Structure 1
Amino acid sequence: MLVYVPPHPLVKHWLAIARNAATPPSLFRSACAELGRILIYEAVREFLPTVETTVDTPVGPADVEFVDPTKPIKVVPILRAGLVLLEQAGTVLPMSETYHVGYVRDETTLKATPYLNKLPASLSPDDKILITDPMLATGGTMLQVIEDIVARGADPANIRIVCVVAAPGYIVPGLGDAGDRAFGTSG
Structure 2
Amino acid sequence: MTLQLRVYVPPHPLIKHWLAVARDAATPSVLFRSAMTELGRWLTYEAAREWLPTEETTVQTPLATCAATLINPQIPVAVVPILRAGLGLLEGAQTLLPLASIYHLGLMRDEATLEPMCYLNKLPEKFNPETRVLITDPMLATGGSIMATMAELVHRGVDPSLTRIVCVVAAPAALQKLSAAYPGLIIYSACIDEGLNEHGFIVPGLGDAGDRIFGT
TM range, normalised to the smaller chain?
over 0.9
The match for 1:51 is 55
Give the distance between the partners of 2:45 and 2:172, measured in 1 at CA. 26
Give the distance between the partners of 1:145 and 1:117, measured in 2 at CA. 10
The match for 1:82 is 86
SS of residue matched to 1:46: coil
Give the distance between the partners of 2:108 and 2:92, measured in 1 at CA. 24
Which residue among 183, 189, 202 is the counterpart of 1:184? 189
Which residue among 127, 130, 133 is the counterpart of 1:129? 133
Q: Is the contact made by 2:75 and 2:130 (CA closer than 8 Å) also made in structure 1?
A: no
Give the distance between the partners of 1:119 and 1:103, measured in 2 at CA. 13
Give the distance between the partners of 2:177 and 2:13, measured in 1 at CA. 31
Which residue among 153, 171, 175 is the counterpart of 2:178? 175
SS of residue matched to 2:123: coil
Q: Is the contact made by 1:47 and 1:128 (CA closer than 8 Å) also made in structure 2?
A: yes
Equivalent position amino acid for 1:182 in 2: I
Determine if the alignment matches structure 1 residue 108 to structure 2 residue 112: yes
- Output the aligned Cα RMSD: 1.5
TM-score (norm 2): 0.81
Determine if the alignment matches structure 1 residue 20 to structure 2 residue 24: yes
The farther-off stretch of 132-141 and 55-64 is: 55-64
SS of residue matched to 1:170: helix
Which stretches of structure 1, 4 residues or more, deviate above 6 A after TM superposition? none
The farther-off stretch of 136-145 and 78-87 is: 78-87
SS of residue matched to 2:173: coil
- Structure 1 stretches lacking a partner, 5+ long: none
Shift of 1:172: 6.4
Equivalent position amino acid for 2:186 in 1: R
Paired positions, count = 186
